Amino acid sequence: MEITLTVNGKPHKVEAPSDIPLLWALRDHLQLTGTKYGCGKAQCGACTVIVDGKAVRSCTRKAKSVVGKSITTIESGAPTPETQALRAAWTELNVHQCGYCQPGQIMAASALLMSNANPDDAAIDKAMSGVICRCATYHRIRKGIKQAAKTLPQFSGTQPAQQGGDDVA
């Protein structure tokens, strides 16, 4: 079937089986390989993208279920202020190690900051606990989110913040 997905602000037509997961529509049909495959069972968070401001596991979400919604991946050329602040903090603090999990980490953290611009440790743990890092960069991820929260006002005004939250499924 033909599925039209709005990814990073642009519509894309995908000719694919009706039950194709969003992850494979992004990776195999749109060549957006920044979104990673880990477990395929909504357990690791490597495939996290943002759909209408919420963190979503793209490996188990059917592409057809997000038709008409705004999908944001790590490749977005017009990142939200939250993503910009996170990218800057990630670079400054050298958050990543091997990097495999980091697109999912940044997408999950972006959705968190969209819904809570100043998250405490408990809020960070709740939002990020499902995104596994085999290199155990958790300490730097938490530090990066806190730094991004502090610098967020510097990045505001470039794009309106979307309503966010964690709708991992």
Residues that bind ligand FES (CB under 6 A): 37-40, 42-47, 57, 59, 96-102, 133-135, 137
Q: How far is the CB of 106 from ligand FES (least distance, A)?
A: 11
Longest dimension (CA), the chain: 45
Nearer to ligand FES, 64 or 96 (CB): 96
For residue 108, the minimal CB distance to ligand FES (Å) is 11
For ligand FES, the closer CB: 38 or 164: 38
Cβ at position 157, least distance to ligand FES in Å: 31
The nearest distance, CB 137 to ligand FES, in angstroms, is 5
The backbone torsions φ and ψ at residue 154, rounded to the nearest 5 degrees and listed phi first, read -65, -25
How many angstroms separate the CA atoms of 141 and 143, rounded? 5
Between 71 and 101, CB nearer to ligand FES? 101
Q: Which is nearer to ligand FES, 63 or 133 (CB)?
A: 133
Computed from CA positions of residues 48, 51, 54, 60, in that sequence, does the dihedral angle turn out positive or negative?
A: negative
Residue closer to ligand FES by CB (options 106, 152) is 106
CB of 73 to ligand FES, least distance (A): 13
**Beta strand 54-57 pairing with 48-51:** antiparallel
